[in-house]
Amino acid sequence: MTLSSPPEMIGYMAELGVERTLWTPGASRLELTLTEDHLNKGGVAHGGIHMMLLDSALGSALVASLKVEEWCATAQLSTSFLAAARPGERMVAEGRVVRRGKNVAHLAGEVKVGERLVASATGTWAIWSSRPPSLSKD
């Protein structure tokens, strides 16, 4: 049995203004309208914004397909920055599961502003059958 609804948006993503607009097993979408707070010194979106959206969109696509007791974490994320995004523009990040095994999943996604591709990523996620002891709250 998978989660019936998405987990709560983590603090910093909510503070940045990220919105989840799709959450279904194997696919997800996150959106963010850029403000001055998201920019680098060059006046365009900081690359960390692209990577945060991609890591979270790809990870959400996998989380939506996990069993309730399963756990996952990003093991590797490779990002290509293809175009600038500017204040007022709406960044839309989509992630999808390409292939999932018992312990590893491969994902891919992209960030667009309208039809303009601004970044793409591929990544590998580790999967555990339950929360790893290293992440225990004790």
In a 10 Å sphere around its CB, with 0-12 CB exposed, 13-18 middle and 19+ buried, how is residue 124 labelled? middle
| 59 closest CA partner among 111, 23, 19, 92 | 23
Determine the Cα–Cα distance for residues 124 and 73; give it in Å rounded to an integer: 9
pLDDT at 60 over 70: yes
User: Chain-wide mean pLDDT for the chain?
Assistant: 93
Q: So what's the pLDDT on residue 9?
A: 75
pLDDT tens-digit map of 11-37: 888 889 999 999 999 999 999 999 999
pLDDT of residue 80: 98
Reported pTM = 0.91
Question: What pLDDT shows up at residue 31?
Answer: 98
Q: Give the tens place of pLDDT for each residue, 108-119.
A: 999 999 999 999
Whole-number pLDDT of residue 138? 59
At 69-86, the pLDDT tens digits run: 999 999 999 999 999 999
CB within 8 Å of 132: residues ≥ 6 apart: 71
Using pLDDT thresholds of 50, 70 and 90, give the confidence band for residue 8.
Answer: confident
Question: Could you give all domains of the chain from N- to C-terminal order, each with its CATH number?
Answer: 11-135 (3.10.129.10)
25 DSSP 8-state letter: T
Planar angle of CA 120, 102, 70, nearest 5 degrees = 85
d(CA 91, CA 81) in angstroms, rounded, equals: 13
Mean pLDDT of 38-48: 96
By the 8 A CB rule, do 133 and 110 touch?
Answer: no
